[in-house]
Amino acid sequence: MNLGRKISGGKYHKRRKKKFFEKKVQERTVSIRETKRKALRARGGKGKTILLSANIANVLNPKTKKTQKTKIKNVLETPQNVFLARQNRLMKSAIIETEIGKAKITNRPSQEGMVNAVLIE
């Protein structure tokens, strides 16, 4: 039987189109380059700043409880997919190499407009 057809051979018709908030959003990937942000309109008229690329991370040292800005050198591994580490994609729980050592990203850079990480010993 043909897909999208009734047993009698008639077509199924959509009841309505997709509304604006139901539309699929293009996937945002953050890579290591000069920091670049973009402002979007969120639902309810609120603003949202997204990150397109970054080369600086806010790294927290758990021993001293101090945060400092450091340059990102490389992405070492990503638990989601091995190939994303090769492409230097910044995403939550990815382990990055910084100037002060290895760090794990704790936020979602593609949605928050910055990269926050915690130092790993």
Residue 66: how many CA atoms within 13 Å on its side-chain side?
A: 5
pLDDT digits (tens, 9 = 90+) for 36-48: 999 988 888 899 8
Residue 85's φ and ψ, nearest 5 degrees, are -70, -35
In a domain, 5, yes or no: no
CATH number of the domain where residue 97 is located? 3.10.290.70
Contact status, residue 102 vs residue 96, Cβ threshold 8 Å = yes
Cα distance between residue 98 and residue 57, in whole Å? 8
Domain span at residue 75 reads 28-119
User: For residue 15, what pLDDT is reported?
Assistant: 87
Quick check: is 74 in a domain? yes
In a domain, 94, yes or no: yes
Q: What are phi and psi of 68, to 5 degrees?
A: -140, 150
- For residue 15, being part of any structural domain is answered with no
Total domain count for the chain?
1
pLDDT, tens digit, for every residue of 7-28?
888 988 888 998 888 888 788 8
Flag whether 69 is in a domain: yes
Report yes or no on 32 lying in a domain: yes
pTM of the model: 0.79
Residue 13 lies in a domain: no
Per-residue pLDDT of the chain (121 residues; tens, 9 = 90+): 567 788 888 988 888 998 888 888 788 899 999 999 999 888 888 998 999 999 999 999 999 999 999 999 999 999 999 999 999 999 999 999 999 999 999 999 999 999 999 999 7
- Structural domain includes residue 12: no
Spacing of C-alpha 8 from chain mean position:
47
Q: Of 19, 18, 17, 109, nearest to 57 (Cα)?
A: 109
